[in-house]
Amino acid sequence: MLLSEASLRDLNSRLDKDVTVAQYRPSIVVNDCEACSEDSWNNIQIGTVRIKRVMACGSYRLCDPSDKKVYGTAPLFGQYYIVKQTGTLHVGEPVYKISY
């Protein structure tokens, strides 16, 4: 699962109480991009790894933890990707959007 820090900031601007990236447990966190831009990254490369977006993560709709009610109209948050080319990536490497 991949999400951006900008998307998290945008989400927190709409909430009464901030959430943290740790609550979503993404495998990859991206910075220096616009909020929700990861929603349109169909193919990306980080280091020598190429990944393809599969779908939005349905597990993390906005919810009210006190009554465990999930708001069905709330936007999805984070994106699932599959590995298309294995390799190595490191913290701080740039993310490249690949257009075919």
| CA nearest to 99, candidates 50, 66, 49 | 50
Do residues 79 and 57 lie in contact, with contact meaning Cβ atoms separated by under 8 Å? yes
Nearest in space to 97 (alpha carbons), one of 73, 79, 74, 75: 79
Residues 99 and 93: their CA atoms lie apart, in Å, by 19
Tens digit of pLDDT for each residue in 56-74?
A: 887 655 544 555 555 555 6
Provide the token pair at 84. 């298309």
pLDDT in tens, 3-51: 999 999 988 888 888 888 888 888 999 999 999 899 899 999 999 999 9
